[in-house]
Structures are given as C-alpha cells and as structure tokens.
C-alpha cells in the first residue's frame, strides 16, 4: 500500500453553484493547506483548486481516518449538506489516486480535453505545497512523474494539437450565434490567461474591436495594446454594454460584475441588438437572471459542455494513446515505489558486509604492517570488490521481485540469513 488518498469534486460530479461555494470559501486569509495539515497522521498534502475542480492529494499512515477528516474539512468549508457531499465527492486510493492525478495533469479529465491550462494550475498547486512545506519524497516523486506524463501526452499524441480551452469553446459558440464575427465588438472583463486566450481566438476569427476592463488598469492597457484594442474602466462597463456584441467575463470578483439591470438598460439603448454573454468565472460574474432578457444569450462554464463534447469526440483516438501513456507512467511509478520496501534491507545488507570486511582487515593488521600503504589500500579495494560482486546478483534479484509485489519472502529470508532483523 502507498498510503495515498485523493478526495475531490469536479465538473462531472458537482454542479457549478456547489463548486462556487467551495471556491469562495477557500479564498481565505489562511491557505487551506495549513488547516489540512493540522489533520493528524498526515505525511504530506497537495491542494488543487480550479474553476472545474477541488482536489486534495494526501499521504497518510491512516487512510480511512484521513478520508473522514478531509470530508469533514470540505463539508465545513464548502457549506455543503451531507447529501451533497455524498453525491458529489469522489475518493481514490493508492494506485487509483496516482492514475487520477496523472489524468488530470495530462488534461484527460478536463472539461475541454487537451486544454493546456491545467498543467500550469497543477504546477502552481505543487509550488504552493512546496512553499508551505507540505510535500515529501513520495509526493515530490509523484508530481515529477505527473509533469513528465503530461509532457509525453503533449508531444507524443495529437491530443493537444489545435488545443482548445473554455475560452475557445466560448468563441466557437459565438460563431454559431452570429454566424460570422467580422465587424463584431468584444468586451473582455478580466485580463488574465483565460481572457487573453479568448482575445486571441476572437481576433483570429475576425472580431473587429477588443475592449478590455480589468481591476488593474495597467494590465488592461497592456493587453489592449497587444490586441490593438482599448482599455475601459470597470466603472464604464454598464455604459460599454451599449456598444458591444460579445462579452466574455473571467474575473475573481466575489459578486456579480454585470447585473440583470445593467443588461436590461443596455438593451433599451442598443435597439435590442443581440447581446452574447459568456461567463467563464467561478464564482459567476454575470447575474443568471440576465439570460431571461429577450435578445440576450447567456452561457456559463457548464453550458459549454455541448461544444466541448464535440471536440472530445474528435479526439477520442488520441485520448486512447494518451491513456496508454498514463498507464505506462503509473506502472513506472508503482515499480519505483515498490523498490522502496527493499531499500532498507539492501542498505542493511551492504552495511553488514562492509562491517565484516572492516573487522577482518582490522584482525589482519598485524601481518599487514610490513606492507606498503599502497598495498594495504589495494587489499581493502580487492576485499570490497569481492563482497560487491557476491552481493550484486542477490540485490538485483531483490529489486526485480519488488516490482511485482513478490519481494516479501526474499526480504524475510535475507534478514534472517544475515541476521539483519537484529538491526
């Protein structure tokens, strides 16, 4: 057993409003890692929170007790009911936990399969864990394997070819609504990575003007210059709604950036021209009530699933190749982990052999006094070499057997034969 547990919820198991609650609750002054590490008998933990998932990977000596305490943590912080927790939460252990992490990092478990953002989000989660001192040898190794398999999937399969993201899915939806994006004016609220991706796709598909509103005006201006657009103040959003055709909002605001009243007022001033609103933020930026207004099309992350499914169908063959790579790396990690069980025995065996060599050399020191220092050194090297050659095959055999969970009887025999159990 690896003593690993992974607990979480994602876009497949939990609706948007539930993920919102958990996302908001975790934006507190004290990082969730610090509170999670207060759980007894934890050897390490990594906490991942994105728009589409919240997951905790933990190494523990008491898996069942740890799962119960992590469930209590999520129940409390997400203000969930017991029924919601049971319905939406999944738990993976040991090899299944490793496989799940590898699939997540490789974007096989993403809302948009093949999207590149998730590996950066996992790296950020790992960085925070390292900074908070919540990783160790095992979790560090797991993460290195995860990043390696993500790279292999990206370079050895076509899963990420013409990679899409939630932003791209939103642009695809805009194309279906308007037919053509040429001459359209776009307002991007938020100037983060998601908005930048949306801007890039929109420009590629012919959008005429890009307006950017952001909490930090300097960043909005920088992005506006990059896309030959114009920065607007957040306070001007209501007024700006009158002149735009498409709004893509992705901020970290705790409340609505666009209310139903703002949309209704804009529609009256724009002679009821179609207004396409895409809310890809968690928590949501746009009041859901705005979607009920005539000539307004409002979509959130969960609404994009249809477009995402079309993309996924076209990638299933490449996904199968990616799954094979994930399974290969899970096998490699498991094989590495299993060798850890025999390492103490190998170390003890070598130490016992070295002790025998040193003892015999000490007892032979009297008759070796007439030898030169060089000759004495050569004898020590020869003795050590003989011992290493004798132990080489047993050690190799022990490592090979450990890869298939078959090393236990060999370990027991070696420890008894060489009296290593006394140590």
State yes or no: pLDDT of 159 exceeds 70.
Answer: yes
Listed by start position, the domains of the chain span 4-162, 166-305, 339-422
Query: What six digits make up the tokens of 114?
Result: 């093949």
Bond before 289 cis per omega within 30 degrees: no
| CA angle, 59 then 64 then 68, to 5° | 95
pLDDT of residue 423: 45
pLDDT of residue 107: 92
Residue 8 · residue 56 · CB < 8 Å = yes
Pairing of strands 185-189, 42-49: unpaired
Distance of CA 58 to the CA centre of its chain: 14
pTM of the model: 0.60
Residue 42 · residue 138 · CB < 8 Å = no
Query: What six digits make up the tokens of 262?
Result: 């703002």
Mean pLDDT of the chain: 85
Question: Mean of the pLDDT values across residues 231-242?
Answer: 92
Query: Residue 10, SS3?
Result: strand
Q: What pLDDT, in 10s, does the model give residues 373-420?
A: 888 888 888 888 888 888 888 878 777 776 665 666 667 677 777 777
Better-predicted residue by pLDDT, 280 or 145: 145
Q: What pLDDT, in 10s, does the model give residues 165-179?
A: 677 788 888 888 888
Domain 166-305 has CATH 3.40.50.720: yes
What is the dotted CATH code of the domain comprising 4-162? 3.30.460.30
Residue 46 · residue 134 · CB < 8 Å = yes
> What amino acid positions are annotated as catalytic residues?
51
- Count of Cβ atoms closer than 10 Å to residue 192 Cβ: 15
- DSSP state at residue 112: S
DSSP codes, 152-178: HHHHHSSTTTT---HHHHHHHHHHHHH
């Amino acid at each position: 057993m690896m003593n690993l547990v992974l607990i979480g919820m994602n876009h497949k198991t939990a609706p948007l409003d539930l993920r919102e609650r958990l996302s908001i609750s975790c934006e507190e002054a004290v990082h969730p890692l610090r509170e999670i590490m207060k759980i007894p008998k934890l050897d390490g933990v990594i906490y991942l929170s994105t728009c589409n998932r919240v997951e905790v990977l933990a190494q523990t000596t008491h898996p069942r007790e740890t799962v119960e305490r992590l469930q209590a943590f999520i129940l409390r912080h997400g203000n969930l009911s017991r029924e919601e927790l049971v319905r939406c939460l999944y738990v993976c252990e040991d090899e299944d936990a490793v496989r799940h992490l590898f699939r997540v990092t490789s974007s096989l478990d993403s809302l948009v399969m093949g999207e590149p953002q998730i590996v950066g989000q996992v790296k950020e989660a790992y960085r925070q864990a390292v900074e908070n001192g919540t990783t160790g040898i095992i979790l560090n190794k797991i993460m290195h394997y995860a990043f390696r398999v993500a790279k292999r999937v990206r370079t050895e399969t076509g899963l990420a070819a013409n990679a899409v993201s939630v932003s791209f899915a939103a642009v695809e939806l805009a194309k279906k609504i308007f037919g053509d994006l040429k001459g359209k004016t776009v307002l991007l609220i938020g100037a983060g990575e998601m908005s930048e991706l949306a801007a890039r796709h929109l420009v590629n598909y012919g959008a005429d003007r890009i307006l950017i509103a952001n909490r930090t005006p300097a960043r909005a201006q920088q992005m506006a210059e990059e896309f030959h657009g114009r920065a607007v103040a957040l306070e001007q959003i209501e007024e700006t709604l009158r002149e735009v055709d498409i709004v893509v909002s992705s901020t970290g605001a705790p409340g609505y950036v666009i209310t139903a009243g703002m949309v209704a007022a804009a529609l009256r001033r724009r002679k009821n021209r179609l207004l396409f609103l895409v809310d890809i933020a968690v928590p949501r930026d746009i009041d859901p009530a705005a979607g009920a207004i005539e000539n307004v099309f409002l979509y959130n992350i969960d609404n994009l699933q249809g477009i995402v499914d079309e993309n996924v169908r076209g990638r299933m063959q490449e996904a199968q190749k990616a799954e094979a790579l994930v399974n290969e790396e899970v096998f490699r990690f498991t094989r590495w982990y299993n060798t850890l069980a025999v390492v103490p025995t190998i170390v003890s065996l070598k130490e016992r052999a070295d002790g025998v060599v040193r003892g015999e050399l000490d007892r032979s020191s009297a008759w070796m006094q007439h030898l030169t220092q060089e000759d004495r050194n050569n004898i020590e090297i020869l003795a050590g070499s003989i011992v290493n050659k004798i132990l080489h095959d047993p050690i190799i055999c022990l490592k090979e057997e450990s890869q298939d969970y078959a090393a236990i009887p060999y370990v027991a025999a070696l420890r008894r034969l060489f009296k290593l159990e006394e140590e």
